[in-house]
A and B are shown apart, each in its own frame.
Chain A
Amino acid sequence: MNKKFDDQIKESLMKGTEESTKLKDEIWNKIEQEIDANQIKQKIDHNPIGGSRRMIKQKRKTPRIFGLGAVAAALLIVFLAGTAPGHAAIDRVRELFVPEKTIVEELEGMEEETDVNLQKSRLGYVIYFDEQRYSLDSLDGKDKIAPIEQADYVPEVFMEIEQVEDKDIETLATEIQKMLAGEYETVRNEGSVDSPIESIYLYANTGNNWDDEVVKYYLVDNTQGGVFVIKQQFFFEASEGFGVRFDNMLKEFQMISLEE
């Protein structure tokens, strides 16, 4: 590609967007107004006597299922007895409830440090993810973790977690495999796996083109006669990106039982 054409693209974009930059001061004024309004509101809501220089927390656009403050307030935490697979051992309590930590993820052969935040679900587990990139919504008994930024030209990317209480893991694996066989070109039941989580693992895709849909199911025995069903969906090209990030989240997945 010749440099002249590159220069033309740049110039066309610069000229095409020039007019907008006149809004710079107007935008700043609105930013200042909103920050001031938020700070005044925060003082009234939380600190009526004296002001604080602490930065305000933004009101979330997507409701967090269980805020960090509430996690800290949950003082009585009773873990299920024993060291059943996936369950938090008592000696991991402190680590488990660190509200934020940094993990090292390996993506496409490169190590990347990611700051992750504790999320605690009413379904009875905790998980960590980067709140700058992902949000969690809870609907109809299912939790859905999805990237905040979703492209509209590829299959939707998400990881969905639900708990099925009335079926054993083998029965459910067979049912899901049958369901996948009717919808996807490739379906594999990989059987029991230890990583990223001790589970039965099923894989399916609609093909090997970059934007073909990929789904992965991890079925985790909840040791109470039921199963945590964890479904990941992304597209083929994102296997080494979103796929790895979701798997890394599952490494931090811990079942818990709470008394509040």
Chain B
Amino acid sequence: MNELIKQIKAGDREAFKALYDQYANYTIRVATGITRNKMVAADAVQETFIRVYNNINSFDEDKPFEPWLYRILINECNRILKNQSKTIPISNYLEEHAGIVEEDVYKFEEYEELYTAVNELDDMNRIPIILKYLEGFTELQIADTLNLNVNTVKSRLFKGREKLKKKMAALNERRHLYE
């Protein structure tokens, strides 16, 4: 990774493409998880990598790259969501992005309910869960990325999973009632 960063700092566009290829899929997934919308996620990922490219000279190679990258990504997701909520009435946004609604209710059989349940969690539980399960971050990496205490991360993950279990249990119970 450090070699790649050095090459990018030297202005090597191919190295930057290699970095993008390495992280694109997971940053897109994480951004989708956070924003709950793939087009917003695409914008956030685009802005994130442009910021990475423009600020790579200030990145300290002695530090891990991923928390830096994901801090920028989460910030971009929040910034875009905040700007949209301020400036674009949702009806206009949907008109301009025709097709999003249908695409975003993509069905995936039995896991749809659990994905919906994750999406319904509060950000404080949802984002650590997304980083843990999508990106495979350790609790320490999540703490570093979100600027939180590790014990806080552990607690939020635990509570998040508890809430998910309760939601799923309630859904199953309701389903059995109607069967």
Contact = CB atoms under 8 A, between A and B. Distances in A.
Given A15-B115, A56-B54, A58-B54, A20 B41 contact: yes
Contact of B55 (A15, A58, A133): A58
B124 A151 contact: yes
Contacts, number: 154
Interface in A75-103: 100, 102
Contacts of A113: 60, 62-63
Contacts of B53: 31, 35, 55
Interface residues on A, range: 35 or more
Contacts of A150: 78
B7 interface: no
Interface string A1-16: 1000110111111111
A131 interface: yes
B28 interface: yes
B147 A17 contact: no
A115 B63 CA distance: 11
Interface residues of B, number: 62
A76 B77 CA distance: 42
Nearest to B165: A5
Contact of A132 (B24, B58, B165): B58
A19 B58 contact: no
A207 interface: no
Interface in B90-143: 103, 106, 108, 111-112, 114-115, 118-119, 122-124, 129-130, 133-134
Nearest to B75: A149
B15 interface: no
A34 interface: yes
Contact of B58 (A18, A28, A53, A115): A115
Given A20-B28, A31-B49, A108-B149, A12 B115 contact: yes
A132 B71 contact: yes
Interface of B: 9-11, 13, 17, 20, 24-25, 28-33, 38, 41-42, 45-46, 49-51, 53-58, 60, 62-63, 68, 71-72, 74-75, 78-79, 103, 106, 108, 111-112, 114-115, 118-119, 122-124, 129-130, 133-134, 147-149, 152, 158, 161, 164-165
